[in-house]
Structure 1
Amino acid sequence: MENLSQTFLFFLLSILSQAFYFAKSQSFIGVNYGQVADNLPPPATTANLLQSTSIGKIRLYGTDPAMIKALANTGIAIVIGASNGEIPSLASNPTVAMQWISTNVLPYYPSSNITLISVGNEVLTSGDGNLISQIYPAMQNLQNALASASLAGKIKVSTVHSMAVLTQSDPPSSGTFNPAFGDTMKQMVGFLQQTGSPFTINPYPFFAYRSDPRPDTLAFCLFQKNAGRFDGGSKITYMNMFDAQVDAIHSALNAMGFKDVEIVVAETGWPYRGDSNEVGVSVDNAKAYNGNLVAHLRSKVGTPLMPGKSVDTYIFALYDEDLKPGPTSERSFGLFRPDLTMTYDIGLSKNGDMSPATPSPSTGKPTAWCMPKEGISDSQLQADLDYACGLGIDCGPIQPGGACFMPNTVKSHAAYAMNLLYQTAGRNPWNCDFSQTASLTSSNPSYGPCSYPGGT
């Protein structure tokens, strides 16, 4: 009886610890764990690191048993991968697929929370016609093997694509898949719809900027203040490249008749270091992209074509991969160093401030509020408003029914949002610039039920 009680107590504590983790993690924020390196921390150390963050998902490129075991009972969702080299045997022999599931899934599930199997990586744009023809049968055989193990629906099957599967992506409403993939793409997306699996994509605004290195493109890619880009098809002005790229995929799926298929961002990131001839590579830019991306996801505003829900997004990458070939940037995407210190802080630590919040007064700086300058046009103020709210601040008070909704003018709403961003971003003079459309004032703009946060 005592052993049974101890077993039950252990089970209860395990459930409670997972519930506590889920309460503080954010399921839509994931990270990629690449292993082309010779200096990675032990798997158990990495699992502990992840539990100290708000990261709720991890993507493995293979099926590393030690890492999968280390993640057991953490609640962290795990993506495992079948390599491109495994696709031919998985496609040609259902028994191989069943053995793959028996070896790489059944010994660990459900203690290790495996949720998705990624079959290959960027196969359609690999140029290997033989592999392209085999990707769909391989996915089918793995799905059937999961069904035989009574895991269909619990673990999904998909494959990861690069943005190059699109022949048209700008503007986002014109998103179209390359017709050369024809029936293969249609079969695969039909499979995803039938099984409830996601379409997984690798959007990298960094690469978009590299091919168009203008200052306004950089701001657009980094979620920073910019004029936006108008989509004549949808009549939407996009304020960042991430939303534009994801919505281009949504448009392509819609054009094919599969608008309800979920989209998951399997990889996105920004290198913090590079060679002298690499544009846009810096710690500041990497911190701006990944930090603003996390804030954008936490705001749950979604994208213009998919509002109100954050797309599950896996940031590349947890650590640098020091053995990767190519330019220095290829080895410089890590959020953490091998000694577990942060390369730069984007607010993922559970012990730190993970999201913008209404600040409490602090000493050292005079009371000030950030307000729009006189004579600024409504179109410019709307851009300021979209920019501030797009970074994840609480714009609820200026929504219908909110304490600051009235007066219902662009100027009033922009003033509230610009001030709140200034107060939460550090109350530095440069936090109240907004491309020279705002300035600080010592006059409290609060009125009636509407309170403007202010710092001292």
Structure 2
Amino acid sequence: MASIFANTKEPFLASMLLLMGLLISSAGKTAAQSVGVCYGQVANDLPPATEVVDLYNLNGIGRMRIYNPNPATLEALRGSNIELVVGVANEDIQTLASDAAAASSWVQQNVRDYLPDVKFRYIAVGNEITPSDAIAPYVLPAMQNIQAAVASDQIKVSTAISLSLLGSSYPPSAGSFSVTASSYINPIIAFLAETGAPLLANVYPYFSYLGDTENINLNYALFTAPGVVVQDGNLEYQNLFDATVDALYSALEKAGGLNVDVIVSESGWPSAGGTAATVENANTYYSNLISHAKDGTPKRPGPMEVYLFAMFDENQKGPAVSERHFGIFSPTKQSKYQLSFA
């Protein structure tokens, strides 16, 4: 900073420039911190949790999502200042829904025992549950029991959905939940609106592109379209990510969730194993998504919270080969891309 002000003779001007510099630095830090990375562990060749946490810190990744309260991960996170989204495993939901004491025990064992050393941000009760799943009726009661148990700790409780719950998504303003999904998701949305919690959503332009390569341009999916692709009233869309998230916001509004925020709890692009799954395309997608997170969407401008999927390639995922190639790092901790989180 000294070199910047070396020739500044007016102390007041120097002070103002210094203040502006600090504000810019703070804004940059906030934008970077809005992007986290999912730490999936469906693999048998991953490094120890302590080394994973070190890798997050080394790369300036300030937020993590895990899918169950793995004790080794929680211990490794102590004192790290990494903000955490911790999941309730799908197979535990029915028990926690049926027994408030079990929910209290889950919170004590997996959250309170690590406070304040671990910075819990959200608890995600289940991942990508659909209305036809046997555990679907238990999701909201489990959320309510967990919320009651964790209320004094001021940690928000939500669930992570897939966009398959949408019945309509084009144009974004026409976004709505399907008739089948509404009976499942609407009461959850009412709970989120009441508690001030966000809805977590897994958003994958890659899979949308894969499902309709004739009508969806690859550049539109990769944030590289040169101009407006979709005009929706007075809103203009240059990328599929924004259009998808705003379709979800439209659906939320129609379902009574006008003030419910969306957290993108997963988004990624594979580097191998499928159509357009290349290192180059994945690098383009992740880089552009990190940069774009500070801007938000046309419908909801401003910084948005996004979690990249995933930290590592996971060799036991499937059945599609591409599912094993979503990592931004290899299991040897080598970076696959040129990404900057700081």
What TM-score results when the alignment is normalised by the length of structure 1?
0.67
Q: Is the 8 A contact 2:235 2:299 kept in 1?
A: no
Structure 2 gaps, min length 5 = 1-25
Q: Percent identity?
A: 38
Q: Any idea what the Cα deviations from partners look like across 1:147-190, whole Å, max 9, x if unmatched?
A: 3xx21xx2111111000110000110000011223343221111
Following superposition of structure 1 onto structure 2, how do residues 239-250 of structure 1 map, counting pairs within 5 Å? 239-250=238-249
Q: Does 1:304 align with 2:306?
A: no
Following superposition of structure 1 onto structure 2, how do residues 23-34 of structure 1 map, counting pairs within 5 Å? 26-34=32-40
Q: Does 1:143 align with 2:153?
A: no
> What secondary structure sits across from 1:81 in the alignment?
strand
1:211 positional shift:
1.4
The match for 2:269 is: 270
State the alpha-carbon separation in 2 of the partners of residues 123 and 341 from structure 1. 33
Q: Is the 8 A contact 1:25 1:55 kept in 2?
A: no
State the alpha-carbon separation in 2 of the partners of residues 58 and 214 from structure 1. 35
Q: Which amino acid aligns with 1:321?
A: E
The match for 1:103 is: 109
Residue among 305, 313, 320 paired with 1:327: 320
State the alpha-carbon separation in 2 of the partners of residues 57 and 199 from structure 1. 17
1:257 positional shift:
2.5
Q: Is the 8 A contact 1:319 1:337 kept in 2?
A: yes
The match for 2:189 is: 189
Q: Which amino acid aligns with 2:322?
A: S
Q: Any idea what the Cα deviations from partners look like across 1:257-276, whole Å, max 9, x if unmatched?
A: 322111100100000011xx
State the alpha-carbon separation in 2 of the partners of residues 81 and 192 from structure 1. 16
Q: Does 1:237 align with 2:230?
A: no
1:25 positional shift:
8.1
Aligned length: 316
Structure 1 gaps, min length 5 = 1-19, 351-456
Q: Which amino acid aligns with 2:208?
A: A
> What secondary structure sits across from 2:200 in the alignment?
strand
Q: Is the 8 A contact 1:24 1:54 kept in 2?
A: no
Q: Which amino acid aligns with 1:113?
A: K
1:216 positional shift:
6.1
Q: Which amino acid aligns with 1:65?
A: P
Change (3 A) 1:315 1:68: same
> What secondary structure sits across from 1:116 in the alignment?
strand
1:210 positional shift:
0.5
The match for 1:57 is: 63
1:243 positional shift:
0.4
Q: Which amino acid aligns with 1:85?
A: E
Residue among 52, 62, 85 paired with 2:91: 85
The match for 1:423 is: none
1:214 positional shift:
4.3
State the alpha-carbon separation in 1 of the partners of residues 215 and 135 from structure 2. 40
Q: Does 1:314 align with 2:318?
A: no
Structure exhibiting the larger radius of gyration computed from Cα positions = 1
Q: Is the 8 A contact 2:35 2:61 kept in 1?
A: yes
Change (3 A) 1:216 1:330: closer
State the alpha-carbon separation in 1 of the partners of residues 242 and 31 from structure 2. 23
1:215 positional shift:
8.8
State the alpha-carbon separation in 2 of the partners of residues 347 and 29 from structure 1. 11
Change (3 A) 1:23 1:284: closer
Q: Any idea what the Cα deviations from partners look like across 1:344-396, whole Å, max 9, x if unmatched?
A: 11223x5xxxxxxxxxxxxxxxxxxxxxxxxxxxxxxxxxxxxxxxxxxxxxx
1:325 positional shift:
2.7
State the alpha-carbon separation in 1 of the partners of residues 340 and 225 from structure 2. 20
Q: Is the 8 A contact 2:225 2:239 kept in 1?
A: no
State the alpha-carbon separation in 2 of the partners of residues 292 and 182 from structure 1. 33
Q: Is the 8 A contact 1:25 1:54 kept in 2?
A: no
Q: Any idea what the Cα deviations from partners look like across 1:378-434, whole Å, max 9, x if unmatched?
A: xxxxxxxxxxxxxxxxxxxxxxxxxxxxxxxxxxxxxxxxxxxxxxxxxxxxxxxxx
State the alpha-carbon separation in 1 of the partners of residues 264 and 324 from structure 2. 21
Q: CA RMSD in A?
A: 1.8
The match for 1:131 is: 135
